[in-house]
Amino acid sequence: MRRLMIAVLVAGGLAASWTTWANPPTEEAKSPHTLDKRVAALEKRVTELEQRVAELEVQSKVSSSSAIAVKLIGNWAARDDKLGVVGLRFMDDGMCRVATVDRENRVDFAWGTYEVVGKAVMLILKDDYDPKGKGPYRTSFLIESIDDKNLTILGQLPNKGITFERQ
């Protein structure tokens, strides 16, 4: 985005140079008062362009979030040495379900909502087997990569992520 802004400014500068060469300024245009007005106008335009660039950067982040959210919808499963089998289900209405089967074959389910922000997925879950009613629980994970077949989330240790397969 910054390169685009610089290109626009350079192109504008070249156009201004061409205009100046083709139409030399009059004595009145060379006066300090007129030059101050032109500088102020250019500074205002640069500020407007910077604001537009910031808006476009935000739109870009939102677009990438929604693209990831669309790819995330569906059922995913992974086997991890420590966690056992983990199943994730993301629905298009913002609801999600998590199921785990640990190494002792104990099953646990949780359900709730999810939201994608950039590459982060934030979950608010209620555990089906929460006898004390301590939930809902908030958790999140970062997506390292996602495609039609695999979802890799970042683990807590460097280079130790978990890859889920689409079911």
Q: What percent of the chain has pLDDT over 90?
A: 13
Two tokens at 58? 């935000």
Convert the pLDDT of each residue in 4-36 to its tens digit. 545 544 455 545 555 555 566 666 666 777 788
- CA 110 to chain CA centroid, Å, is 26
Whether residue 114 contacts residue 90, with contact meaning beta carbons closer than 8 Å, is answered with: yes
SS3 category, 41 = helix
The pTM assigned to this predicted structure is 0.57
- Residue entry with tokens 């982060």: 120
> pLDDT: is 69 or 10 the higher one?
69
Two tokens at 20? 């100046």
Convert the pLDDT of each residue in 114-141 to its tens digit. 888 888 888 888 887 766 767 788 888 8
Two tokens at 28? 């009145």
> pLDDT: is 22 or 40 the higher one?
40
CB atoms within 10 A of CB 49: 15
The structural domains of the chain, with segments of one domain joined by +, span: 2-70, 74-166
* Residues written for the chain: 167
Cα(38)–Cα(29) distance, rounded to whole angstroms? 10
> pLDDT: is 52 or 73 the higher one?
73
CATH architecture of 74-166: Beta Barrel (2.40)
